[in-house]
Each structure stands twice: as C-alpha cells, then as structure tokens.
C-alpha cells in the first residue's frame, strides 16, 4: 500500500532538508495542524505533551515549522499525521520526495518491536517508502475503525444499566486505579498487550511497567475489581481486576477535549456476560467527568476482524469517525 510509484525519486528529493526538526518550544505550527482533526491526531499530540523535551529529529514537520502540511513522532515507533493531505482543510498531500525523506529519517529510528501507526492514509503513504528501503513488517493491520462514544443525556453508563440492571455493581465499581494497586493492574495490562501484539512487553525491560505506573499516577487507568469469580469484591475477600481501560492519549484541543481509550480488557472468564459493556459505558462517563468535559470526545480504535469487540462498541452506540492502520515491526 504505497503512494510512491517510482523507485528513483531523485537525489534532490531524497535530501533530509525536506524535513524540519521540531524543537520542543516551537510546536505551535504542528499543534495547529493537529487541531484540524483532533481525534486522528491525538496520539501524536499526546507524545509531544507528555515529554517536555526531546532530541533533535524526534518530532519532524514537512512543509516548515510555521505551517506544516504533515508531522510525525519518530522515536522507536513512527506516528505520522497529514501525509496524505486534508483537502477539506486546504492542505496538500506531501510529495514523493517529502515522504521518502521521512521514511529515510524514520527507518534507523524504528525499534525491533516498534510500529507505524496513525490515520490509515498517512501510514500507507510512508509505509511505501519504508518498505522500499528494506523495512519489513511482522503484521500489517490496515483497517482499524476509529469509533467515538455517543453523547447520552444522564450518561452512557446509566442508560446502559437501565437495560442491564443486574450489572449495576459493575458500573458502580468503575474508578481510577490507585498507585497501591499497580501490582493488581500490571498482570491485566500484560495479558491485554500480549493478546493484542503477540509478546510479553515486560521481556523488553522496565519500560512497560513504568508506563502502566504512569497511567495510574495520572488517574488514567480505570478498573473494576471483583472477588475473582465475577462478583462484587467484599471487604476481606480476594480482589482481582475484572475489567480495565486506559486513557492512552488525551488532549484539550482548541475545539474541545479529546480522549483515546486504549488497553480495553475484560478478564477472559468474564467475557460474554455483559460485564465489558457495562464497565466501558461507565468508563466513558468517568473520562468525560475527569478529563475532557461533558461535551468531550471519547474515542478508541479496533481491528476490523475483532468482531466481538466491534459488536460491543456498537451496542453502546459508538460510531465510526475515522480509520487507523498499524504496521507492527
């Protein structure tokens, strides 16, 4: 899936000066670009907002700093935005030379288990150059619908529980995990990650543990605890994570708050019982209350072949607002 049709792009087109490194104190142009489509750009913005400083070339712009046509985060993984153009906003697509330069820049920065992810048309644009330069994929996921939660008067959780009153304990149990619960949350996070990406992230060092801890410290990891058997945990009873979901990306954009949920997981023995739907509905309400405001957008993306997850999201009224792609390396 490549927008590059000719292997010989010309020496001039391949020059790295088609890219502009974005210093951490000069992000206004990139942020304005991202504000054109906050739901699609929130992952890139999340990276820029999480880190107060970054190295030269970790964030790059195409078309200049002031009014870039595209930008990308390029550390371990590549997160492009804007490469395919946004004609509805008057933005041209990056040309073949610019895309080649980005691919050339990013290729040596990609880690062994990194990824190229973002809006599908932008990932397709740069993956052509990366593959021509020898980058190989472990798995390509080209259709990942981006879904947004509905706005429901009184809250999505309350509306859902009117249909499933027996699961009221689930909705009422949703809360942000506490730092002293990190040891409970980590195994659930690892199980989710391993099932989705095919390997245990803790084998690569302490980075994943730190990430889970950071999400908890930021009150961005939401959980439901049970007694290990699908019932409300009572004082003195065993406790286990029955459900979890993280706010993986968050941005108070100029047009309103945007959150992207990641790591949505229901313990395997509880799947198919409605617990995931009841918990997720309550999480949407909690994220709006805690992070993005009542009118904020709560989104997520899912592989199109994950039919159970798609059915769950659609049963809650989630609607497709975009399309992502992820190439696993």
What's residue 235's pLDDT?
87
Q: Give the position of tokens 């619908």.
A: 145
Q: What is the C-alpha to C-alpha distance for residues 287 and 133, in angstroms, rounded to an integer?
A: 41
Q: Is 308 helix (H, G, I), strand (E, B) or coil?
A: helix
What's residue 18's pLDDT?
87
- 101-122: pLDDT as tens digits: 999 999 999 999 999 999 999 9
- Tokens found for residue 128: 């052509």
Residue-level length of the chain: 329
* Residue partners of 74: CB distance under 8 A and separation at least 6: 57, 58, 59, 60, 102, 105, 106, 109
Q: What is the C-alpha to C-alpha distance for residues 107 and 260, in angstroms, rounded to an integer?
A: 27
Helix 120-132 and helix 96-107, axial crossing angle in degrees, nearest 10: 70
Contact 84, 120 (CB under 8 A): no
Q: What is the C-alpha to C-alpha distance for residues 18 and 10, in angstroms, rounded to an integer?
A: 13
Sites in the chain below the pLDDT cut of 70:
1-17
What's residue 15's pLDDT?
47
Which of 259, 269, 289, 257 minimizes the C-alpha distance to 158? 289
* Residue partners of 268: CB distance under 8 A and separation at least 6: none
What's residue 17's pLDDT?
66
- 201-256: pLDDT as tens digits: 999 999 999 999 999 999 999 999 999 999 998 888 899 999 999 999 999 999 99
Q: How many Cα atoms are found within 13 Å in the side-chain-facing hemisphere of 269?
A: 10
- Tokens found for residue 152: 């429901």
C-alpha pair distances (Å), 171 with each of 135, 156, 160: 45, 10, 9
Can you give the pTM of this predicted structure? Answer: 0.93
DSSP line for 188-212: HHHHHHHHHHSS-GGGG-THHHHHH
């Amino acid at each position: 899936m490549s927008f590059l049709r000719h292997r010989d792009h010309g020496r001039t087109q391949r020059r790295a000066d088609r890219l502009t490194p974005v210093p951490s104190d000069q992000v206004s142009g990139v942020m304005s670009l991202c504000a054109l489509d906050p739901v699609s750009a929130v992952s890139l913005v999340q990276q820029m907002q999480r880190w107060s400083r970054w190295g030269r070339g970790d964030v790059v712009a195409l078309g200049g700093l002031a009014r870039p046509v595209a930008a990308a985060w390029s550390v371990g993984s590549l997160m492009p935005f804007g490469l395919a153009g946004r004609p509805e906003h008057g933005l041209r697509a990056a040309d073949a030379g610019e895309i080649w330069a980005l691919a050339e820049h990013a290729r040596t920065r990609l880690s062994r288990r990194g990824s190229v992810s973002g809006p599908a048309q932008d990932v397709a644009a740069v993956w052509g150059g990366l593959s021509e330069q020898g980058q190989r994929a472990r798995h390509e996921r080209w259709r990942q619908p981006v879904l947004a939660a509905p706005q429901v008067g009184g809250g999505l959780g309350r509306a859902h529980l009117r249909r499933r009153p027996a699961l009221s304990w689930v909705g009422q149990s949703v809360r942000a995990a506490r730092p002293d619960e990190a040891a409970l949350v980590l195994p659930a996070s690892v199980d989710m990650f391993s099932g989705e990406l095919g390997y245990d992230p803790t084998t690569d060092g302490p980075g994943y543990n730190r990430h889970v801890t950071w999400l908890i410290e930021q009150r961005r990891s939401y959980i439901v605890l049970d007694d290990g058997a699908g019932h409300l945990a009572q004082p003195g009873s065993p406790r286990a994570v029955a459900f979890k979901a993280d706010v993986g990306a968050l941005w108070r954009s100029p047009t309103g708050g945007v959150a992207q949920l990641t790591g949505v997981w229901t313990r395997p023995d509880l799947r198919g019982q409605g617990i995931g739907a009841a918990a997720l509905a309550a999480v949407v309400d909690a994220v709006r209350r805690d992070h993005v405001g009542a009118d904020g957008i709560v989104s997520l993306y899912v592989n199109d072949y994950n039919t159970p997850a798609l059915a769950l999201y659609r049963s809650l009224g989630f609607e497709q607002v975009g399309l992502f792609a992820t190439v696993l390396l």
